[in-house]
């Protein structure tokens, strides 16, 4: 990395500057801080060519990220496939569409969710600030990403999760040797506790005192979408929402690319997806307000189960300003969404991806997304972590004797079952 934009923390409300430090709240008006860049200084230096010459990972965009001087990344995080999804499109658009894409962070390395992106940036800063222990409050994916990447950087990790988290996500944290603390409460309880711990312990919590840096990692989803579309912006982005951060950062990334002259300016519509059982942001968008009322989460989409979303008001405002919309779907539709994406495009996503797929279908039916528009659906996590959601959906088939005749008979049996199912 030969060039990096100058960056610093600024208050999103009062605009006060705070330099660079592990801090998340303005001490004057108590509003969230955000990393701001001198993007104009990168004009003509950060080019399509300079980016293409970088590694096949988020680090190809390092000049546009808050990466401390001297940090040498060695993990190939991100740069996940953007795949055309004609078979999914055939199922959700009348007449199909050649313009539907899936941004597949189900295969983001190293821990199979988009959280690897944000953690990579947070931990780069944790090292620079001198933290020896890092941690997070997590609904699972963040726990996995923090635990794995902390090991890689020689940092200790203490991870706090809601006690009812999926077993796979707990195991996928413990295996890296992280200290895992299950809290008897929901994510919002865990979150609140972490903010108190961060006050008392000299730890770098990736989504608390390192949050402004951490959340910038989400911008890389936006950079990649634009680059992989051939340096063009899509018409629509459908994005899952928990805290409401990712959707805003994708927009921020698009804005920076426009400012740098790397893509043509375009008004992209942003669509937010939530599970009905935890839908504070979509409820606000549909009610035409930025006042996000907290909810008690009750959904199988645990990675989106944040009842009191920190960036909710900003996300609601931004979505409406772009001409987009937000929708939510019931848990049965979440499961159907997982199955639909797997059956059509060979992508097995977790419950959050089921939400996003099902909401995309709903938005198409509502006429908010059209077949002739380029639409990118953001899939943020891997289905292997939430297999519980599919319990009872597939029968355990009987074993067949290793004889050709038995096999043929078994196929007939399956086909006749299918006919019965179709007849029903």
Cα distance between residue 195 and residue 198, in whole Å? 5
The half-sphere exposure of 193 on its side-chain side, counting CA atoms within 13 A, is 19
Is residue 368 near other proteins by the rule CB under 8 A? Answer: no
- Per CB under 8 A, contacts with other proteins among 345-364 are 352
Q: What gap in Å lies between CA 373 and CA 98, rounded to an integer?
A: 9
- Is-contact 377 102, C-beta < 8 A? yes
The stretch among 121-129, 135-143, 337-345, 395-403 that binds other proteins (CB under 8 A) is 135-143
Rounded to whole angstroms, the Cα distance separating 135 from 89 reads 40
> In angstroms, what is the minimal distance from the CB of 399 to other proteins?
42
> Is the separation of the CB atoms in 206 and 146 below 8 Å?
yes
Q: DSSP code of 397?
A: P
Decide: is 135 part of the binding site for other proteins (CB under 8 A). Answer: no
From the list 149-157, 199-207, 254-262, 412-420, the region that binds other proteins by CB under 8 A is 199-207
Is residue 41 at the binding interface for other proteins, with CB under 8 A as the rule? no
Give me the sheet containing 179-183, strands edge to edge: 179-183, 156-162, 133-137, 204-205
Are 309 and 315 a contacting pair, CB within 8 Å? yes
Among 3, 15, 21, 30, binds other proteins (CB under 8 A): 30
- Report the candidate in 263, 231, 232, 236 with the shortest Cα–Cα distance to residue 371: 236
Q: Is 172 a residue that touches other proteins (CB under 8 A)?
A: no
Q: Which of 58, 88, 123, 142 binds other proteins (CB under 8 A)?
A: 142
Distance CA 106, CA 155 (A): 25
Residues 325-344 that bind other proteins (CB under 8 A): none
Task: Considering the complex, state which of residue 99 and residue 380 has its C-beta at the smaller distance from other proteins.
Answer: 380
Residues in the interface with other proteins (CB under 8 A) total 51
**Is residue 163 involved in binding other proteins (CB under 8 A)?**
no
Reduced to 3 states (helix: H, G, I; strand: E, B; else coil), residue 34 is: strand
In angstroms, the CA 165 to CA 139 distance is 7
Closest distance between other proteins and the C-beta of residue 382, in Å? 14
d(CA 419, CA 424): 8
**Window of 238-246, 251-259, 385-393, 415-423 that interacts with other proteins by CB under 8 A:** 238-246
Q: How far is CA 285 from the centre of its chain?
A: 20
CA quadruple 236, 237, 243, 248: dihedral positive or negative?
negative
Report if residue 195 touches other proteins, rule: CB under 8 A: yes
x/- mask, other proteins, residues 375-414, rule CB under 8 A, reads -----x----------------------------------
Per CB under 8 A, which of residues 268..297 are in contact with other proteins?
291, 293-294, 296
Residue pair 356/339 in contact by the 8 Å Cβ criterion = no
For the record, the structure tokens of 336 come out as 């159907």
Hey, which residues between 62 and 101 contact other proteins (CB under 8 A)? none
Q: Residue 114 or 348: which CB sits closer to other proteins?
A: 114
Q: Which residues pair with 100 in a beta bridge?
A: 375
Contacting other proteins (CB under 8 A), which of 119, 241, 338, 363? 241
Interface with other proteins in residues 293-332 (CB under 8 A): 293-294, 296, 303-304, 306, 308-311, 313
Interface positions with other proteins (CB under 8 A): 13, 24-25, 27-32, 114-115, 137-139, 142, 185, 187-189, 191-192, 194-196, 199, 205, 207-208, 211, 218, 240-246, 291, 293-294, 296, 303-304, 306, 308-311, 313, 352, 380
């Amino acid at each position: 990395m030969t060039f990096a934009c100058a960056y610093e923390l600024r208050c999103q409300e009062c605009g006060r500057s705070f330099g660079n430090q592990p801090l998340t709240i303005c001490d004057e008006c108590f509003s969230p801080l955000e990393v701001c860049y001198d993007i104009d200084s990168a004009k003509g230096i950060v080019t399509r060519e300079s980016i293409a010459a970088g590694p096949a990972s988020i680090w190809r965009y390092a000049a546009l990220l808050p990466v401390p001087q001297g940090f040498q990344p060695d993990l190939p995080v991100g740069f996940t496939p953007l795949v055309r999804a004609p078979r999914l499109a055939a199922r959700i658009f009348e007449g199909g569409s050649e313009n539907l894409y899936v941004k597949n962070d189900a295969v983001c390395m190293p821990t199979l969710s988009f959280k690897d992106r944000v953690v990579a940036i947070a931990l780069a800063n944790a090292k620079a600030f001198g933290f020896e222990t890092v941690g997070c409050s997590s609904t699972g994916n963040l726990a996995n990403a923090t635990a794995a990447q902390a090991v890689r950087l020689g940092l200790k990790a203490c991870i706090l999760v809601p006690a009812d988290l999926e077993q796979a996500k707990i195991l996928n944290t413990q295996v890296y040797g992280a200290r895992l603390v299950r809290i008897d409460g929901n994510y919002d309880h865990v979150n609140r506790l972490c903010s108190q711990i961060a006050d008392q312990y000299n730890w770098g919590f990736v989504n608390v005192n390192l949050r402004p840096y951490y959340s910038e990692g989400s911008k890389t989803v936006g950079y990649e979408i634009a680059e992989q579309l051939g340096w063009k912006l899509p018409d629509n982005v459908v994005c899952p929402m928990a805290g409401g951060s990712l959707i805003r950062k994708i927009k921020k990334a698009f804005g920076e690319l426009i400012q740098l002259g790397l893509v043509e300016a375009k008004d992209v519509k942003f669509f937010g997806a939530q599970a009905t059982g935890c839908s504070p942001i979509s409820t606000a968008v549909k009610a035409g307000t930025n006042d996000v009322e907290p909810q008690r989460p009750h959904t199988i989409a645990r990675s989106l189960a944040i009842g009191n979303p920190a960036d909710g008001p900003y996300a609601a405002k931004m979505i409406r300003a772009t001409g987009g919309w937000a929708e939510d779907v019931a848990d049965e539709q979440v499961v159907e969404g997982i199955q639909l994406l797997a059956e059509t495009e060979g992508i097995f996503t977790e419950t959050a991806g089921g939400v996003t797929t099902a909401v995309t279908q709903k938005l198409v039916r509502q006429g908010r997304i059209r077949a002739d528009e380029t639409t990118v659906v953001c899939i943020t996590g891997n289905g292997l972590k939430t297999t519980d959601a599919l319990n009872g959906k597939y029968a355990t088939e009987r074993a067949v004797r290793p004889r050709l005749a038995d096999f043929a008979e078994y196929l007939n049996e399956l086909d006749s079952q299918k006919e019965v199912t179709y007849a029903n």
